[in-house]
Amino acid sequence: MSLIRSAYYGLSWLGAPCVSAYIAWRAFKGYEDKSRLSERVGKTSVSRPDKPLVWVHAVSVGEAVAALALIQAIIRKYPEVCVLLTTTTVSSYKVIKNRLPKNVIHQYCPVDTPQAVQRFLEHWQAYIAIWIESELWPNLLHETQKRGIPSILLNGRISLKSFSNWQKLKGMISPLLSRLDLCAVQSEEQASFFQALGASSISVMGNIKLMMTPLQVDPKKIGAFQKEINGRPVWLAASTHPGEEEIVLKAHKLLKREHPDLLTILVPRHIERAPSLKELAASKGIPSTLRTEGTSLKEVELYIGNTLGEMGLFYALTPVVLMGATLVPKGGHNPVEAAQMGAFVLHGPHTFNNHQLYTILNSLEVSQSVQEENQLASSVLPWFKKQKEGFEEPPPLKAYRDEGLKNLMKLLNPFLKTLRKERE
């Protein structure tokens, strides 16, 4: 064990009470699930099933949603296994809780203290551990490997800044990465990053977010909403941030010149901002309403979404979507769900957090870049020529998704087959 690794282990052991206090403070502030806080320190009231257990860890919303497609593929091929899905954030569980397949248990991931990690691993006795993306906690990874549990990293991605930081701590990360049984990364560039940090069994798998299962939408809700829209031209600005809403409202006014009955749907990334956006619209002379107000749309020009779990509904309704965090330098939110619902994706120049996703969607001709904010209205306008008739996934995107998932299962099958042998 390196000096840095030993120091981290010792400090995290001694600091466990402080970490627990910090988690309790986060729960008080509403950042943690108060009713399940014990899971964050490795304790649970849920019994371990008497089946081979595959543990999948996904950090937050995007990774958790992407993990569902992988989990479904695993269970289809290996119905004898049970899957433990861990996430870190409360929001991720809220999004996926009604979409969890049968034989899947959700838990919050333990904090990275030796005590919490050891309790977690001792209780669940996983046969295989799969981490999605790049949240690599040293104690969690070390203790998993120490128990001889095959460890797999999928969708590996390290930003240039994180790569630079990890290079300074190579004595800690290199032994852990070198013991990964499989390190499947998003691109050749990422492969070079992980190789430089010590990983050896490296494969390029593409981006797991392109393999996500399309969102399920209630047809009754869609029908009711379409009836209320009554054939009006409609478009959506999704997951927007401060600075983007002003651009959206400017585009709305420009589009109204040709389409006086226009309806713009605006869903901020943080729905608690919805009331302030209603005030912003009023200051621009734009009549608006919040979804939770249940107001008739007849006199409304701007419809502001402020509920959780309904993005699929809005994507299904609209022919074209502006994806937020791209007109301001936030890096761009995941555009795949919108494209899968048959909505054409427009985005600004700031896509650095999901650059690969946007590049692939552009190549499949289901998205387009808007380089200047004054181009937004002219980019939206052509999509009002005909009403959206359905929300089927575009064939090129479906083919790409199916092929990606098939190749990913080829990488995992050698490890998953061992579970079947152990049961025989």
What is the DSSP track for 160-179?
Answer: HHHHHHHHHTHHHHHHHHHT
pLDDT at residue 172 is higher than 90: no
Q: In the beta sheet, which residues pair with residue 87?
A: 108
Please give the pLDDT value at position 325: 97
Q: pLDDT above 70 covers what percent of the chain?
A: 98
pLDDT in tens, 358-381: 999 999 999 999 999 899 999 999
State the average pLDDT for the chain. 92
CA distance 199 to 190: 11
pLDDT at residue 400 is higher than 80: yes
CA distance 58 to 67: 7
pLDDT at residue 2 is higher than 80: no
Note the Cα 181 to chain centre separation in Å: 24
Residue 351 backbone dihedrals phi, psi, to 5 degrees: -120, 25
Q: What is the CA radius of gyration of the chain?
A: 23
Q: Are strands 82-87 and 53-58 parallel, antiparallel or unpaired?
A: parallel
**Among 3-17, 47-61, 260-274, the least confident range:** 3-17
pLDDT at residue 77 is higher than 90: yes
Please give the pLDDT value at position 216: 86
Residues whose CB is less than 8 angstroms from the CB of residue 283 and which lie 6 or more positions away in sequence, other chains included? none
pLDDT in tens, 12-41: 999 999 999 999 999 998 889 999 999 999
Please give the pLDDT value at position 91: 85
Please give the pLDDT value at position 422: 54
Please give the pLDDT value at position 389: 78
Please give the pLDDT value at position 107: 97
Please give the pLDDT value at position 328: 97
Residue 37 class from Cβ within 10 Å (0-12 exposed, 13-18 middle, 19+ buried)? middle
3-state SS, one letter per residue, for 335-400 = CHHHHHCCCEEEECCCCHHHHHHHHHHHHCCCEEECCCHHHHHHHHHHHHCCCCCCCCCCHHHHHH
User: With bands split at pLDDT 50, 70 and 90, how would you rate the model's confidence at 161?
Assistant: confident
Catalytic residues: 63
> Which uninterrupted H or E stretch holds 117?
helix 114-124
Q: What is this structure's pTM?
A: 0.87
- Which residue, 185, 99, 175, is CA-closest to 134? 185
CA distance 139 to 5: 9
